[in-house]
Amino acid sequence: MDISNYLYLSVILFTIGALGVLIRRNAIVIFMCIELMLNASNLALVTFSRIHGNLDGQVASFFTMVVAACEVVVGLAIIVTIYRSRRSASVDDASLLKN
């Protein structure tokens, strides 16, 4: 199988994630879309690692996973807090910066 297909898959996953972030309102869904984008880039990194025949990309993907894990912890905490205070997980409701 052509190795570039992995890249196409990564681009498709990234695009889906990005569109999700832009279109969806629910904070949880947006959050999951961000995870999708991160994993898409992980896929791309691993693929590049395979193409170049060294381990740099795989190492980088591990870093990404760690960061993503941290992000989940912080992000979910924020979302839950917002939900508690506003009874809603819609990002459009939390527009305090407006005006």
Partner 1 sequence: MRTSSHLVYLIALPLFSSALLLLLGRMADKWGHIFATLISASAFGVGISEFMEMHSHTGANRAATQKLFEWISVGNLKVDASLLLDQLSICFVLLITGVGTLIHIYSIAYMDHDKDRRRFFAYLNFFIAAMLLLVLGDSYLNLYVGWEGVGLASYLLIGFWNHNPTYAVAAKKAFIANRIGDVGLSLAIMICFTQFGAVSFDGVKAGASHASPAALTAIGAMLLLAAAGKSAQFPLQSWLGDAMAGPTPVSALIHAATMVTAGVYLITRSNFIFDASSTARILVVTVGVITLLFGAIVGTAKDDIKKALAASTMSQIGYMILATGLGPVGYAFAIMHLLTHGFFKAGMFLGAGSVMHGMDDEINMRKFGGLARLMPITAVTFGLGYLAILGVPPFAGFYSKDKIIETAFNQGGGKGIILGGAALLGAGITAFYMTRVVVLTFAGAKRWKDGSHPHESSVLMWGPMVVLAIGSIASGFLLSAGGALVNWLQPVVNASHAEGGKELMKPLVVSVLALGIVVLGAGYAIIKYRTVPEVAPENVSIFTKIARKDLYQDIFNDVVLVKPGTTLTAGLVATDHNVIDGAVRLVGWLISEVSDVLRKLQNGYVRTYALMMFVGVFIGALILWVVTA
* Residues in touch with partner 1 (CB under 8 A): 18, 21-23, 25, 30, 91-92, 94-99
> What tokens were used for 82?
């917002």
Residue 28 is encoded by which pair of tokens? Answer: 């949880």
**Between 59 and 81, CB nearer to partner 1:** 81
**Which single residue is written with the structure tokens 């990564």?**
10
Comparing CB distances to partner 1, the nearer of 85 and 95 is 95
DSSP label at residue 91:
T
Residue 98 CB, nearest approach to partner 1 (Å) = 3
Cβ atoms 94, 82 nearer than 8 A: yes
> To the nearest whole angstrom, how small is the minimum distance from the Cβ of residue 66 to partner 1?
22
